Chains A and B, each alone.
Chain A
Amino acid sequence: MIGKGEAMMANVTMTVNGKKVTATVEPRTLLVQFLREELGLTGTHIGCDTSQCGACVVHLDGRSVKSCTLFALQADGASVTTIEGLANGAELHPMQAAFREHHGLQCGFCTPGMVMSAVDLAKRVKSPSEHQIREWLEGNICRCTGYHNIVKAIKAGAEAMGSAAK
């Protein structure tokens, strides 16, 4: 609804990809809007308006969340990692590298959410089975790949993350 004149504003502070950021936002600002429009981190995408598609998945204090389903204010004081914060410069994170190696992306739109979601799975389950991966991806929709290569990529990426951690 319309407020009278300027909308009420609120301050928010969080750490995004290791950098502390502070901003004044409308309270209704979603975390995904904050990332995309306030911080210019456009790697996080919006693919739906019902929290189904998962294109907006980021990590909030290390756990995958749909950033369209949180207000920016709910992330106040938290640490957020987006797709832009995953690689080490030109060196891809093992999960990103696995997506490339196994052709786990086509148009690239769902990819940031898929990768962020997959990294969380791999942290929770050392060596996920195909069944576990497919169940885990219930909240991430891809229209291009038929998931076949995404599943392969996540399996390989999880293995690579496991090896890297040893």
Chain B
Amino acid sequence: MTNTSGIGAAVRRKEDFRFLVGKGTYTDDINRPGQLYAHILRSPHANAEIKGIDTGLAMKAPKVVAIYTGVDMQVGGLPCGWGVKNKDGSPCIEPPHPVLAATHVRHVGDPVAIVIAESREAARDAAELVAVDYHPLPSVTAADDAVKAGAPRVHDAAPGNLCFDWHIGDKAATEAAFATAAHITKIDIVNNRLVANPMEPRAAIGDFDRGTGDYTLYTTSQNPHVIRLLMGAFVLQLPEHKLRVVAPDVGGGFGTKIFHYAEEAMVTWAAGKLGQPVKWTAERSEAFTSDAQGRDHITHAELALDGSGKFIGLRVSTLANLGAYLSTFAPAVPTFLYATLLAGAYTTPAIYAEVKGVFTNTVPVDAYRGAGRPEACYVVERLVEKAAGEMKIDPADLRRRNYIPKDAYPYATPVALTYDSGDYFTTLDMALKAADYAGFAKRRQEAEKRGKLRGIGLSSYIEACGVAPSAVAGALGARAGLYETAEVRVHPTGSITLFTGTHSHGQGHETTFAQLVSDRLSVPIEMIEVVHGDTAKIPFGMGTYGSRSLPVGGSAVVKALDKIVNKGKKIAAHLLEAAEADIEFKDGAFTVAGTDKAVPFGAVAFSAYVPHNYPIEEVEPGLDETAFYDPKNFTYPAGAYVAEVEIDRETGTVRVANFTCADDFGRIVNPMIVAGQVHGGLAQGIGQALLENAVYDRVSGQLLTGSFMDYCMPRADNLPSFAVATNTTLCTHNPLGVKGCGEAGAIGAPAAIMNAVVNALAPLGVSDLTMPATSEKVWRAIHEHAQPKAAL
């Protein structure tokens, strides 16, 4: 009997009904009795000393309850969860990150006071009456400016604004390879800064029970247990058993809701002070100046090739803008999540990368969908495409010449990772066929007749996800374990509640994880509830990021299900009067092997809770099992993307004509959800390539793109429909064979799009363009190349 809600089925999502009828419960939808409202006063300056804050007038405003500044709020600073080491082995610099800035603000949006009142409006009105005496100082926002001699210093503790000077790979071997190269391709890359912009702005409600001394924080988080740990242990010194963190329905995260933010600590602390709940909800403009942002690299890279087009060496030098403070995982992103992926899908034997992490007077930078891997993919795939052009080799062919052979797994790269499985050849062929790569020349000719410039571009990405083996992560500087937990609670009448330490904020875990249970136990999916996002309900958890939920969290579910089945066998053996070794579990029933003696799963569950006829001496009553799973390796999803664009010569507008994907995510549990994850990632990747850019004024330090009017979010009419397909090689080290799919689109798309844009403009002599390829930038490139240089 086929289980229509098991692994591989495109089950429609269990969570959709509540969202579709307006019954989702997002943080701002929650209201607690006696709730007060917080408005956070933020710095209008990029760099300034605070000479004093006068709250006297504001305190007299109607409905104001309290105003706290950094002087009032004496708590721990916001911790960084991942330290990296410099080339010489010394630790990176971790300047203090106060919850409220008391003496110095370091970016526009740095919080200086929290104003609490009986209504949102009253708090906001009163905040206008707080007088902050700022002494503005010169600021620096660009990473390349920040490392210049004489640049304004962001932190006294960080000379030259350098947080770390890190490297990976074998420098000598790489130099030796370059010395023998037949051809060297060089590229300079700016990986533009992005704002994650989940549609739900961040929000937090602090609550305190005077009777029990218990704190509760409701927050828009991807990982409530991590917030409880960081805020409880480092900032507010609250032990775990007195602090509950709830991340209810969360309206998108994309990385920026991983981190522990100052506002969470502020409302929790203030609730304790006041004995009343305190709620804060960000406005979008506030999100732009307080949510950790993404990317922002400046890179020079060189690829050495031999005469046959084999890659023999790669050297990369990157400046990574970290912003004003170290956000929770900031140092890991441009180092271990970036440079370890520089081998890409290729056999490049010698790689050396150095990365300088730089402080600037900007919003902190941390993980955003892909986190380091899009930056790596962009470096490698732009280089490969450029090399192909220079060496007059078809870009697809050049990739094939350098792909890791199908029989070479496990494959150790020169930059610390060991890929467990993959088949890049087949994936590429699938994508090329689906995109009619062979027919492109004809389409380009046809476009020329219409006066359009048509281009095609490839990207053959690989990523490391399923974050992460705890010991490996620990050796690389992580200050946490990165396993995951699951609890499978079988109820007396056979329905099931699954508790997972991962968090769903759009990924559909309530369905996918229920499918895992349904598949294994043959219980209808309607009988399975998935619970996440509440530290009071779930044993523990590390949350959702790095495409880890299914590879790590799903594996924990499998382990817990194993325990359920094993215990069920003991109970069934007793009920069937057979030996435990003879019991098989299949299609929802425990059977004595080779006989028709069977007892259904539900009867075993009932027996576990009503143990009248029960092996009580050997087996405890109840059927409720918890498992922790620590992955053995990262997983390595990979894929090939083909972008085809058409450029209007008159306006410079780039239209994405086709976008074709072939991804290898290992085993697919719900193909509908997987395709949706790819679509969303693609939109963000195409957004980076064509539309999105966080722009800071180099003099004033103001974010010039601080709203949806200035920061160009992809709209429906900026994008095509996508052609997506999957090729499958199983992950070899987790029980499901799954690899993770959440970040792929955002990783692979930018290079494919930019390769296509440059390909379209190549006949004019354009060999490079920085992201985003806006119509203005493309128009300028066309016109600069359309006439002789001398005429300009």
B745 sits at the interface (CB 8 A): yes
B524 sits at the interface (CB 8 A): no
When the two chains form the complex, which single residue of B17, B200, B675 contacts A107, counting CB atoms closer than 8 Å? B200
Q: Are B250 and A107 in contact (CB under 8 A)?
A: yes
Expressed in whole angstroms, the Cα–Cα distance for A114 and B250 within the complex equals 17
When the two chains form the complex, which single residue of A50, A82, A106, A133 contacts B676, counting CB atoms closer than 8 Å? A106
B755 to chain A, nearest CB (A): 20
B675 to chain A, nearest CB (A): 8
Cβ–Cβ < 8 Å partners of A21 in chain B: none
A16 to chain B, nearest CB (A): 12
B784 sits at the interface (CB 8 A): no
B663 sits at the interface (CB 8 A): no
Q: Which of A59-67, A72-80, A139-147 contacts B (4 or more CB under 8 A)?
A: A139-147
B713 sits at the interface (CB 8 A): yes
Looking at B24, B197, B713, which has the most chain A CB atoms within 10 Å of its CB? B24
Q: Are A45 and B708 in contact (CB under 8 A)?
A: no
When the two chains form the complex, which single residue of B672, B713, B719, B722 contacts A103, counting CB atoms closer than 8 Å? B672
Which chain B residues (1-30) contact chain A, with CB distance < 8 Å? 12-13, 15-26, 28-29
Query: Chain A, 134-166, contact with B by CB distance < 8 Å: what is the 0/1 string?
Result: 110110111111111111000000000000000
A49 to chain B, nearest CB (A): 5
Task: With CB as the reference atom, state the residue of chain B lying closest to A82.
Answer: B22
B680 sits at the interface (CB 8 A): yes
Task: With CB as the reference atom, state the residue of chain B lying closest to A147.
Answer: B716
Expressed in whole angstroms, the Cα–Cα distance for A6 and B672 within the complex equals 53
Task: With CB as the reference atom, state the residue of chain B lying closest to A98.
Answer: B20
Q: Are A50 and B22 in contact (CB under 8 A)?
A: no
When the two chains form the complex, which single residue of A100, A107, A138 contacts B505, counting CB atoms closer than 8 Å? A107
Q: Are A108 and B62 in contact (CB under 8 A)?
A: no
Q: Are B252 and A111 in contact (CB under 8 A)?
A: no
Cβ–Cβ < 8 Å partners of A47 in chain B: 199-201, 251, 284
Q: Are B16 and A99 in contact (CB under 8 A)?
A: yes
Q: Are B26 and A109 in contact (CB under 8 A)?
A: yes
Q: Are A87 and B20 in contact (CB under 8 A)?
A: yes
B431 to chain A, nearest CB (A): 17
Q: Are B20 and A148 in contact (CB under 8 A)?
A: no
Cβ–Cβ < 8 Å partners of B18 in chain A: 108
Question: Main secondary structure on chain A at its contact with chain B?
Answer: loop
B721 sits at the interface (CB 8 A): yes
When the two chains form the complex, which single residue of A96, A108, A146, A149 contacts B249, counting CB atoms closer than 8 Å? A108
Task: With CB as the reference atom, state the residue of chain A lying closest to B706.
Answer: A50
Query: Chain A, 75-98, contact with B by CB distance < 8 Å: what is the 0/1 string?
Result: 000000011101100001000100
A141 to chain B, nearest CB (A): 5
Q: Are A149 and B679 in contact (CB under 8 A)?
A: yes
Q: Are B125 and A1 in contact (CB under 8 A)?
A: yes
Q: Are A45 and B676 in contact (CB under 8 A)?
A: no
When the two chains form the complex, which single residue of B17, B129, B251, B745 contacts A109, counting CB atoms closer than 8 Å? B251
B308 sits at the interface (CB 8 A): no
Task: With CB as the reference atom, state the residue of chain B lying closest to A136.
Answer: B716
B663 to chain A, nearest CB (A): 14
B673 sits at the interface (CB 8 A): yes
Expressed in whole angstroms, the Cα–Cα distance for A140 and B21 within the complex equals 18
A10 sits at the interface (CB 8 A): no
When the two chains form the complex, which single residue of B22, B125, B715 contacts A141, counting CB atoms closer than 8 Å? B715
Query: Chain A, 33-45, contact with B by CB distance < 8 Å: what is the 0/1 string?
Result: 0001000011111
B343 to chain A, nearest CB (A): 28
Expressed in whole angstroms, the Cα–Cα distance for A75 and B129 within the complex equals 32
A5 sits at the interface (CB 8 A): yes
Task: With CB as the reference atom, state the residue of chain A lying closest to B61.
Answer: A2
Which chain B residues (703-718) contact chain A, with CB distance < 8 Å? 707-709, 713-717
B412 to chain A, nearest CB (A): 35
Q: Are B745 and A141 in contact (CB under 8 A)?
A: no
A120 to chain B, nearest CB (A): 15
A13 to chain B, nearest CB (A): 22
Cβ–Cβ < 8 Å partners of A53 in chain B: 199, 284, 708
Looking at A7, A55, A92, A109, which has the most chain B CB atoms within 10 Å of its CB? A109
Cβ–Cβ < 8 Å partners of B252 in chain A: 106-107, 109, 143-144
Q: In the complex where A135-B717, A144-B506, A146-B680 touch, is A96 in contact with B21 (Cβ < 8 A)? A: yes
Q: Are B125 and A143 in contact (CB under 8 A)?
A: no
Expressed in whole angstroms, the Cα–Cα distance for A109 and B249 within the complex equals 9
Q: Are A84 and B505 in contact (CB under 8 A)?
A: no
Query: Chain B, 183-208, contact with A by CB distance < 8 Å: what is the 0/1 string?
Result: 00000000000000111110000000
Q: In the complex where A47-B199, A105-B20 touch, is A148 in contact with B672 (Cβ < 8 A)? A: no
Q: Are A148 and B199 in contact (CB under 8 A)?
A: no
B556 to chain A, nearest CB (A): 23
Expressed in whole angstroms, the Cα–Cα distance for A135 and B715 within the complex equals 9
B546 sits at the interface (CB 8 A): no
Query: Chain B, 682-695, contact with A by CB distance < 8 Å: what is the 0/1 string?
Result: 11100000000000
Q: Are A143 and B197 in contact (CB under 8 A)?
A: yes
A28 sits at the interface (CB 8 A): yes
Q: How many A residues touch B, CB cutoff 8 Å?
A: 60
B650 sits at the interface (CB 8 A): no
A106 to chain B, nearest CB (A): 4
B469 to chain A, nearest CB (A): 29
When the two chains form the complex, which single residue of B19, B129, B284, B716 contacts A49, counting CB atoms closer than 8 Å? B284
Query: Chain B, 237-279, contact with A by CB distance < 8 Å: what is the 0/1 string?
Result: 0000000000001111010000000000000000000000000
Q: Are B251 and A138 in contact (CB under 8 A)?
A: no
Expressed in whole angstroms, the Cα–Cα distance for A41 and B682 within the complex equals 33
Looking at B129, B198, B676, which has the most chain A CB atoms within 10 Å of its CB? B676
Q: Are B20 and A103 in contact (CB under 8 A)?
A: no
When the two chains form the complex, which single residue of A48, A111, A142, A146 contacts B745, counting CB atoms closer than 8 Å? A146
Q: Are A109 and B680 in contact (CB under 8 A)?
A: no
Cβ–Cβ < 8 Å partners of A138 in chain B: 715-717
Cβ–Cβ < 8 Å partners of A110 in chain B: 199, 251
Query: Chain B, 95-127, contact with A by CB distance < 8 Å: what is the 0/1 string?
Result: 000000000000000000000000001000110
Cβ–Cβ < 8 Å partners of A26 in chain B: 121
B105 to chain A, nearest CB (A): 22
When the two chains form the complex, which single residue of A48, A92, A112, A150 contacts B716, counting CB atoms closer than 8 Å? A150
Q: Are B12 and A100 in contact (CB under 8 A)?
A: yes
Cβ–Cβ < 8 Å partners of A142 in chain B: 199, 716
Q: In the complex where A47-B201, A146-B680 touch, is A100 in contact with B17 (Cβ < 8 A)? A: yes
Task: With CB as the reference atom, state the residue of chain B lying closest to A4.
Answer: B62
Q: Are B716 and A2 in contact (CB under 8 A)?
A: no
Q: Are B24 and A50 in contact (CB under 8 A)?
A: no
Cβ–Cβ < 8 Å partners of B715 in chain A: 134, 137-138, 141, 147
Q: Are B21 and A107 in contact (CB under 8 A)?
A: no
Expressed in whole angstroms, the Cα–Cα distance for A134 and B656 within the complex equals 14
Cβ–Cβ < 8 Å partners of A92 in chain B: 17, 20-21
Expressed in whole angstroms, the Cα–Cα distance for A147 and B12 within the complex equals 18
Expressed in whole angstroms, the Cα–Cα distance for A46 and B24 within the complex equals 14
Q: Are B198 and A143 in contact (CB under 8 A)?
A: yes
Looking at B16, B283, B506, B722, which has the most chain A CB atoms within 10 Å of its CB? B16
Cβ-closest 7 pairs across A and B: A43-B22, A109-B251, A108-B19, A107-B506, A146-B683, A106-B506, A146-B679
Chain A to chain B contacts (Cβ below 8 Å), 8 pairs? A49-B707, A92-B20, A101-B12, A103-B676, A135-B717, A145-B683, A147-B683, A151-B721
Q: A92-B21, A148-B676 are in contact. List 10 more A-B contacts (CB 8 A).
A: A42-B28, A100-B20, A103-B676, A107-B198, A109-B24, A130-B721, A142-B716, A143-B254, A145-B680, A146-B745
